[in-house]
Amino acid sequence: MTSERAAGFRNGIDVRVRLRRDGATAETAFDGAWWPRSRELATELPELVAALDLLGVRIERFTHPVQPWGPVDRKIVVNGHTVRTGGFCSMDPQLVSVTVAGGRRLDLLVVPPEADALTGVRALRMSGQRDERSTPQRILAAAGTRPLPEVTHLVSVRAG
């Protein structure tokens, strides 16, 4: 494993993750967002763990919905630290959960890897803002919307 990869980077490309600055409250549906590049947890998860470690978030456990993800070992080791994993059929397919040191759980909205760049960046930005009404569905729907083109009304002038 190269030092770049161990630090949470793939070929110089930053891992796309964002946490809410002021943390979550009981009213918020999630604590941040993650935009993986694929559905292969065996590739994506070590990079997420390393990136969050750089932010001071040490993951002990990672849980995910079974359906949208590829297989991953029950335990992975990143930078000498073991993270247990678990897949559940009952989880919201748009969220993953990490348990950090001390037992606190963080839920991350998953921006679909297939999302175009504009949608992905918008979803990451929006997920970091405090809005108690935000749900994964609302964030992804709002991030995917494109502003309507501005149409100026033409006034027809008749020569006459």
pLDDT 10s digits, 104-159? 999 999 999 999 888 998 998 888 776 666 788 888 888 886 554 555 555 555 55
**Angle in degrees, CA 141, 34, 32, rounded to 5:** 80
Task: Supply φ then ψ for residue 118, to 5 degrees.
Answer: -65, -45
Residue type at position 64 = H
pLDDT 10s digits, 52-73? 998 889 999 999 999 899 889 9
Q: pLDDT > 90: what percent of the chain?
A: 41
Q: State mean pLDDT over 74-98.
A: 94
Chain-centroid distance of CA 132 in Å reads 18
Q: State mean pLDDT over 84-106.
A: 93
CA distances for 28 relative to 23, 35, 107, 144, 157, angstroms: 9, 19, 10, 21, 55
Closest CA to 110 of 134, 86, 127: 127
